Amino acid sequence: MSIVVVLDYGTSNLRSVTKALEFVAENKHQIIVSDQQEQILAADRVVFPGQGAIGQCMTSLKEKGLDDVVRECINIKPFLGLCLGLQSLLDESDEDGGTKGLGIIPGRVIRFKDNVKDEHGCICKIPHMGWNQVYQMKKHPLWKGIEDGARFYFVHSYYVQPENKNDIAAKTDYAAEFTSAAARDNIFATQFHPEKSQKAGLTLLKNFLSWKV
């Protein structure tokens, strides 16, 4: 039985992510929530969930010594980042007055502009909250069984801008066209919340558990 660690840095929605992973694991994977460096490094797969502000996220990672653990895990095993778990992978975020990220995916995190109107003339409220379509930009094992344009659940005011187009796995339109998933090597990370996205989200999580890199 493989071991999947959900990274616990003290500021995340651990319960919903863990429950969703347990649901799709079908007793083939053991799901563990941990902030212990040795346990995380020994796991077969790592999930980095997140919600809230990136400043607190990065501070918690550093205080627990998990920033370097994340960098090491990304080099050796399948890694799934969710929401802040995506944003933290970039070089820098404009949030909290400017916050340095892990610098794994070149690029930055920026805020949606206020008072942007959609095609119907309605103001796009910030944060972007609710269901929206995700358009796949390249083939990937985690998209298996998920239709292009499938709807996923979002809650965010900031979004990532990768420098390298090859890192973009999906895009979504809201106030601006933005990257809603990124992928490179054994990393896959989403701005949306698969654990809150019903069938499509559960399919993505199940694909992650069987992903061979």
Whichever domain contains 14, its CATH number is 3.40.50.880
Q: What total number of domains does the chain contain?
A: 1
Q: Is 34 domain-assigned? A: yes
Residue of 29, 57, 156, 195 marked catalytic: 195
| Distinct helix (H) and strand (E) counts, the chain | 6, 14
Q: Which amino acid is at 53?
A: A
Q: Is 103 domain-assigned? A: no
Q: How far apart are CA 6 and CA 30, in angstroms?
A: 11
Q: Is 50 domain-assigned? A: yes
Instruction: Output the pLDDT for position 1.
Output: 86
Q: How far apart are CA 170 and CA 99, in angstroms?
A: 24
Instruction: Output the pLDDT for position 17.
Output: 96
Q: Is 102 domain-assigned? A: no
Q: How far apart are CA 83 and CA 79, in angstroms?
A: 13
Instruction: Output the pLDDT for position 36.
Output: 94
Instruction: Output the pLDDT for position 197.
Output: 98
- Kindly give the residue spans of alpha helices, DSSP state H, lying in the chain: 14-25, 37-42, 54-63, 66-76, 84-87, 198-210
Which pLDDT tens digits describe the chain residue by residue (213 residues)? 899 999 998 866 789 999 999 999 988 999 999 999 999 999 999 999 988 889 999 999 999 999 999 999 998 999 999 999 999 999 999 998 899 999 999 999 999 999 888 888 889 999 999 999 999 999 999 999 999 999 999 999 999 999 999 999 999 999 999 999 999 999 999 999 999 999 999 999 999 999 998
In the residue annotation, 83 being an active-site residue is answered as yes
DSSP H or E segment with residue 190:
strand 187-190
Residue numbers of the domain that contains 33: 2-97+109-210
In the residue annotation, 73 being an active-site residue is answered as no
Q: What is the DSSP letter of 112?
A: P
Instruction: Output the pLDDT for position 149.
Output: 98
Residue of 83, 95, 128, 156 marked catalytic: 83
Q: Is 155 domain-assigned? A: yes
Q: Widest CA span of the chain, in angstroms?
A: 53
Instruction: Output the pLDDT for position 206.
Output: 98
Q: Is 191 domain-assigned? A: yes
Question: Phi and psi dihedrals of 37, rounded to 5?
Answer: -55, -45
pTM of the complete model? 0.96
Instruction: Output the pLDDT for position 120.
Output: 84
- Kindly give the residue spans of alpha helices, DSSP state H, lying in 129-194: none
In the residue annotation, 195 being an active-site residue is answered as yes
Q: Is 104 domain-assigned? A: no
